[in-house]
Amino acid sequence: MNPPGFPSRITRPPRLTGCMADGFEAIYQEYGRKIHGYLARLTGDPWAADELCQETFVRFLRHQHRLHVHNGTLGAWLFRVATNLFRDRLRRRRPVERLDGELTDGDAVDAVAARDLDTRVRAEVERLPPDLRATFLLRAHHELTYAKVAEALDVSERTAKQRFRHAREILAHRLRPVIESEQ
């Protein structure tokens, strides 16, 4: 006899079969690379992106029966889950001290070593605060509308617009010397 509160027999989670497997495969085919790319840019670490992407789709499988997705909002829901997992990861991580004594919340690439414009742009995007970085990547790289960005990040559309504008201003200011030297 089992103690109170314990199931009488242990059951395995159901295997994906038939319609459910086909549905998941189609969803993963459509969103898997997008979510992974977004997470890779957010984290700057492909291994962390793999883990977070996997967990995003595990959460989808766990909660798909409760989702009531209309008008193409599944993508926004998946981006929101990915963003929340990234935020949780940041909260668990201790800040890294930079050589100049400032604390940073990311592993920004040393600007002196980044001579290539593309590398410098990526490094500057990685240096953005997490909320601005997420907004910028969803809007600029993944081309989501402001409404979808707002839904994915669980903020108002106005906040999404403000964050995107602020991220662009920061990047323009930081990259101005690099761009001028290229011309």
In the chain (183 residues long), the average pLDDT of successive 10-residue segments reads 46 43 80 92 87 91 72 79 88 55 44 55 88 92 89 92 94 82 63
b/e for 144-178, b at 16 or more Cβ within 10 A? bebebbbbbbebeeebbbebbebbeebbeebbeeb
Computed on alpha carbons and rounded to an integer, the radius of gyration of the chain in Å comes to: 20
Q: What is the pLDDT of residue 113?
A: 38
Instruction: Write out pLDDT tens, residues 51-98.
Output: 999 999 998 888 877 776 555 578 888 998 999 999 888 877 655 444
CA distances (Å), 51 to each of 58, 66, 178, in order? Answer: 10, 23, 34
The reply to whether 31 falls in a domain is: yes
The answer to whether residues 48 and 112 belong to one domain is no
d(CA 182, CA 64): 49
d(CA 138, CA 35): 10
Residue 171 domain boundaries? 96-183
The reply to whether 120 falls in a domain is: yes
The answer to whether residues 62 and 138 belong to one domain is no
The structural domain count of the chain equals 2
The answer to whether residues 118 and 165 belong to one domain is yes
